[in-house]
Amino acid sequence: NAGVTQTPKFRILKIGQSMTLQCTQDMNHNYMYWYRQDPGMGLKLIYYSVGAGITDKGEVPNGYNVSRSTTEDFPLRLELAAPSQTSVYFCASSGLSSGSTDTQYFGPGTRLTVL
């Protein structure tokens, strides 16, 4: 299993440009998540999905959109890039919703710079 894969690894955007960060998992997990991590900080949840066709906002959803058309894929869309969106973005997946046993598996991250 490849686990959770993310593309691209790095990207530089100009203010106002748009892009989609790709995330794919091959573990047949129902739950998928997008986090961002600013320098020296912990991760913050942007959006999450409990299954195909179902998404919900996390702590910092403004400026982002998501969709979940398949179990495997959970792309994150930035419509009008702003310097405040400069960050490292991590996608994660898990098989269960219970906090008792739910282990989240993270991708390697996408480093995004907005100039």
Partner 1 sequence: DAKTTQPNSMESNEEEPVHLPCNHSTISGTDYIHWYRQLPSQGPEYVIHGLTSNVNNRMASLAIAEDRKSSTLILHRATLRDAAVYYCILRDRWGAQKLVFGQGTRLTINP
Task: Name the minimum Å distance from CB 32 to partner 1.
Answer: 10
Q: Which of 19, 88 has the CB closer to partner 1?
A: 88
Q: Is 109 in the site for partner 1 (CB under 8 A)?
A: yes
E strand residue ranges, the chain:
4-7, 10-13, 19-25, 31-37, 43-51, 54-57, 64-66, 76-78, 87-94, 105-106, 110-114
Q: Is 99 in the site for partner 1 (CB under 8 A)?
A: yes
Q: Which of 24, 107 has the CB closer to partner 1?
A: 107
Q: Which of 56, 79 has the CB closer to partner 1?
A: 56
The answer to whether 75 and 20 have CB atoms below 8 angstroms apart is yes
CA 30 to chain centre: 14
Task: Name the minimum Å distance from CB 70 to partner 1.
Answer: 19
Tokens describing residue 90: 């991590």
Task: Name the minimum Å distance from CB 16 to partner 1.
Answer: 29
Q: Which residue has the tokens 């409990």?
A: 50
Residue numbers at the binding site for partner 1 (CB under 8 A): 4, 31, 33, 35, 40-45, 48, 50, 58-59, 90, 92, 94, 97-109
